[in-house]
A and B are shown apart, each in its own frame.
Chain A
Amino acid sequence: EDQVTQSPEALRLQEGESSSLNCSYTVSGLRGLFWYRQDPGKGPEFLFTLYSAGEEKEKERLKATLTKKESFLHITAPKPEDSATYLCAVQAVAGSYQLTFGKGTKLSVIP
């Protein structure tokens, strides 16, 4: 069974204080690992797809990296508008492209 574990559950940062969110996963065969951002009361917003170990992707203050067992979402000099829940999900080679989600990390950036 595919599993995704995210840590920490919640993270409070001062504006400008860089940090990383962790996503550990077990999957029979990885098709892709996805990062989403979810604001309260809204659907997840797509951020990144990572396909293989060693891959990195960047978007503004966010950088996602992937190893064979985990992924990190690095946030550099965060701003209050980066406050949200960040979700990690895996898609296995087997199946109909379903996503298995972690429980998310709730990020709060304090001005």
Chain B
Amino acid sequence: KAGVTQTPRYLIKTRGQQVTLSCSPISGHRSVSWYQQTPGQGLQFLFEYFSETQRNKGNFPGRFSGRQFSNSRSEMNVSTLELGDSALYLCASSLRLAGVRETQYFGPGTRLLVL
């Protein structure tokens, strides 16, 4: 079974621009979570999508948004990029079965550099 895939792997943008990152979960997985990883803050939760709806959100500004499609693929968007948005953006998928303590499987990440 193929793992979580993320595209693109690398991106360079300038301040003020916007960016869209894509994530395809493991086949059959219905939940996609997004994380930001920086050297200073470590891995921080952005949001989770399940059944095309955002179910949980971390403490990030409204410039960070996302969506999920009917095939469970997800995108996240960052508008009006700031230098501090430079990070490795990771998505993770899980089955999302009710009452089950689930494991999240991560993709390779998208490295975003904002100049």
Q: Do A and B make up one complex? A: no
Residues of A within 8 A of B (CB): none
